[in-house]
Amino acid sequence: MLPLLITFLIFLSSLNLSLSTELCNPNDKKVLLNIQTQDFGGLDLWDPKTDCCKDWSNWPAIVKCDVNGHVTELSISGILVNGEIPPSIGDLTFLQSLTIALHVELTGSIPISFTKLVNLKYLDLHINNLTGPIPDFLGRMKALTYIDFTNNAFSGPIPSSLAQLPNLQNLILQNNQLTGPIPGFLTRMSSLTEITIGGNNFKGTISPAFSNLPNLAVLDLAQSGLTGSIPDSFGSFKNPNLKLRLSANRLSGPIPRSLGRANMSGIILALNKFTGDASFLFGKDKTMLREIDIAFNHFEFNLSNVDLPQGIKVLDISRNKIYGSLPKRLGQLPLQTLDVSHNRLCGMIPTGRRLKRFSPDSFSHNKCLCGPPLPPCKQ
Ligand SMILES: *[C@@H]1O[C@H](CO)[C@@H](O)[C@H](O)[C@H]1NC(C)=O
Ligand SMILES: *[C@@H]1O[C@H](CO)[C@@H](O)[C@H](O)[C@H]1NC(C)=O
Ligand SMILES: *[C@@H]1O[C@H](CO)[C@@H](O)[C@H](O)[C@H]1NC(C)=O
C-alpha cells in the first residue's frame, strides 16, 4: 500500500512539475532573448515570462518549436533593426526555417556560425541590405532547400559551392549586384525547381543546358545583361508548367521555332531586341499558358490567324511591328491585362464584354484599329 501511495505522489508531483515548466528549451530561449535585448537593441518582441514555444508566435517575430521544445522556426520581419545578423542564431541548431526579412538597415553578411544550422532547410533573407560575396560556406549547409536573398546588395559571382547542396529547390537571388557569367553548375543541379536570379550584372549568353533540369518550374533571368538568343533546346523543357522570364536583357535575333512546341505557363520576353515571327508561341491547345509578354521588341508577324491560348490572362504584345487584325476570340478570353498598342494592326476591335474593360491605351497607336474603345470604324 505504502509503495503505491508513494508512486502516486511522485506521479502527482511530476505532473505538477510538467504543468509549471515551459516547453521552450532554456538555451534556445536565452539565445532569442539576447537577440531581442542585445543584438537588436532593446526590441519588445517577446515576453521573457512566457513560453517561447507557445506564446511567441505572432507576426512580426514568430517562434515555433518541435515537441521537445527546440526552436525549429524563427521569423523576424519588417521591424526597424539595424546592425548585423546576430551570429548567435547559429546556436539554434534545430532550426529548420529562418526568415530575417524586410530590414533595409540590416547590413553585413551572413555569419559563419550559420554552418552549425545543419537542419536548416528554408533561409529567407529578402529585402535587407546585406553586402559582400555570397559566402562559400552555404555549400556546407546540406539541408538547404530554399534560399531567398532578393533585394540585398550581395556582389561577386554565384559561389560554386552551392553545387554541393543536394536538396536545393529554390534559388532566388534577384536584385543584387552579382557579376560574372551565369554559372554552368546550375544546369546540373537536378533538384532545382526555381532559378530566379534576374536583376544582377551577369554577362554572356544563356546556356542551352537549363532545359535538362528535370524539375525546373521557374527560370527567371530577367534584367541580367545577357546577350545572344534563346537556345533551341528551350522548346523541350521537361516541366510543361515552366515559367520563362527573360525580359530586359540584350537578347536578339529570331526566337527558336521549337518554343512553339513548348506548353509553358508563362513566357516573358519583353524589352529585348528579338526580331521576326512569334506567332507560333500562341495556340488554342496551350492550355497551361497564362502569360505572354513580348512587348518592346522588333517582332513582325501577322496576328490575324493566331489561335490564342484559352486560359490566357496576361497578353502584352505592345511596341512591336505586328500587323493584320485582332483575332475574334480575343473578346472571349479571361484576360486581366491586355496591351496591343504601338503596332501596325488594323480593322475592328472584336466585341466582347471582357474587352470593354480595357482603356483606349491598350489599343492605341496602331495602323487602323477601330471600334470601341477606339473611335468607330469608317464604313
Ligand atoms: C546599405 O548599406 C550601405 C553600406 O553598407 C549604405 O551606404 C546604404 O546607405 C545602406 N542602405 C540603406 C537603405 O540603409
Ligand atoms: C499542355 O499541357 C496540358 C496539361 O499537361 C495538356 O492537357 C495539353 O494538351 C498540352 N498542350 C500542348 C499543346 O502540348
Ligand atoms: C494577315 O493574314 C490574313 C489571313 O490570312 C490575311 O487576310 C491578311 O491579308 C494578312 N495581312 C497582311 C497585312 O498581310
- Helix count (H) and strand count (E) of the chain? 3, 27
Residue 5 is predicted with a pLDDT of 52
H/E/C letters for each residue in 9-36? Answer: HHHHHHHHHHHHCCCCCHHHHHHHHHHH
Residue 317 is predicted with a pLDDT of 98
CB 162 within 8 A of CB 168: yes
How many A from CA of 109 to the centre of ligand 3? 58
pLDDT at 1 over 60: no
pLDDT at 15 over 80: no
CA–CA separation, 98 and 210 (whole Å): 29
Residue reference for cell 525549429 = 72
- Of all protein residues, the one whose alpha carbon is nearest to atom 10 of ligand 3 is 324
pLDDT at 20 over 60: no
How many A from CA of 154 to the centre of ligand 1? 12
Question: Rg for the chain (alpha carbons), in Å?
Answer: 27
Q: Residue 148: helix, strand or coil by DSSP?
A: strand
Query: What is the average pLDDT across 107-136?
Result: 96
Which positions ≥6 away from 47 have C-beta within 8 Å? 55
With a 6 A CB cut-off, is 311 part of the ligand 2 pocket? no
Q: Residue 39: helix, strand or coil by DSSP?
A: helix
Residue 12 is predicted with a pLDDT of 46
- Per the model's pLDDT, the better-predicted residue between 80 and 121 turns out to be 121
Q: Which ligand is in closest contact with the Cα of 344?
A: 3
The percent of residues above 70 in pLDDT, for the chain, comes to 94
pLDDT at 360 over 60: yes
How many A from CA of 231 to the centre of ligand 3? 30
User: What is the bridge-based pairing of β-strands 368-370 and 122-124?
Assistant: unpaired
Query: What is the average pLDDT across 126-147?
Result: 96
Q: Which ligand is in closest contact with the Cα of 102?
A: 1
CB 313 within 8 A of CB 338: no
How many A from CA of 244 to the centre of ligand 3? 30
With a 6 A CB cut-off, is 324 part of the ligand 3 pocket? yes
- Per the model's pLDDT, the better-predicted residue between 19 and 49 turns out to be 49
Residue 378 is predicted with a pLDDT of 84
Type of residue found at 23 = L
With a 6 A CB cut-off, is 300 part of the ligand 3 pocket? no
- Of all protein residues, the one whose alpha carbon is nearest to atom 2 of ligand 3 is 304
With a 6 A CB cut-off, is 344 part of the ligand 3 pocket? no
Beta bridge partners of 254: 275
pLDDT at 13 over 50: no
Q: Return the exposure string of 41-57: e unless at least 16 CB atoms fall within 10 Å of the residue's CB, then b.
A: eebebbeeeebbbeebe
With a 6 A CB cut-off, is 160 part of the ligand 3 pocket? no
Residue 303 is predicted with a pLDDT of 98
Global pTM value: 0.90
Pocket, ligand 1, Cβ cutoff 6 A: 104-105, 107, 129, 131
* Tens-digit pLDDT profile for residues 297-354: 999 999 999 999 999 999 999 999 999 999 999 999 999 999 999 999 999 999 877 7
Residue 16 is predicted with a pLDDT of 42
Residue reference for cell 532566388 = 172
CA–CA separation, 293 and 302 (whole Å): 17
Ligand 1 nearest atom to the CA of residue 129, by list position: 1
CB 339 within 8 A of CB 360: no
With a 6 A CB cut-off, is 347 part of the ligand 3 pocket? no
With a 6 A CB cut-off, is 367 part of the ligand 3 pocket? no
Q: Which three cell numbers stand for residue 341?
A: 498598342
- Per the model's pLDDT, the better-predicted residue between 335 and 11 turns out to be 335
Residue 9 is predicted with a pLDDT of 47
* Tens-digit pLDDT profile for residues 188-245: 999 999 999 999 999 999 999 999 999 999 999 999 999 999 999 999 998 888 999 9
Residue 164 is predicted with a pLDDT of 97
Q: Which ligand is in closest contact with the Cα of 109?
A: 1
Residue 352 is predicted with a pLDDT of 78
CB 216 within 8 A of CB 210: yes
- Of all protein residues, the one whose alpha carbon is nearest to atom 9 of ligand 2 is 285
- Which helix (H) or strand (E) segment holds residue 54: the answer is helix 52-55
Nearest to residue 250, comparing CAs of 311, 296, 193, 210? 296
Residue 263 is predicted with a pLDDT of 80
How many A from CA of 285 to the centre of ligand 2? 7
Q: What is the mean pLDDT of the chain?
A: 92
- Across 40-44, 170-174, 314-318, least confident range: 40-44
Query: Which 8-state DSSP code applies to residue 331?
Result: G
Residue 105 is predicted with a pLDDT of 83
How many A from CA of 378 to the centre of ligand 1? 59
Strand order in the sheet with 298-299: 227-228, 250-254, 273-276, 298-299
Q: What are the Cα distances from residue 142, in Å, to 20, 35, 124, 192, 223?
A: 38, 25, 16, 14, 30
Ligand 1 nearest atom to the CA of residue 105, by list position: 14
Query: Which 8-state DSSP code applies to residue 363?
Result: T
How many A from CA of 60 to the centre of ligand 2? 42
CA–CA separation, 312 and 219 (whole Å): 19
Q: Which ligand is in closest contact with the Cα of 280?
A: 2
Residue 4 is predicted with a pLDDT of 55
How many A from CA of 224 to the centre of ligand 1? 22
Type of residue found at 216 = L
How many A from CA of 343 to the centre of ligand 2? 30
Ligand 2 nearest atom to the CA of residue 263, by list position: 1
CA–CA separation, 176 and 167 (whole Å): 23
Residue 17 is predicted with a pLDDT of 46
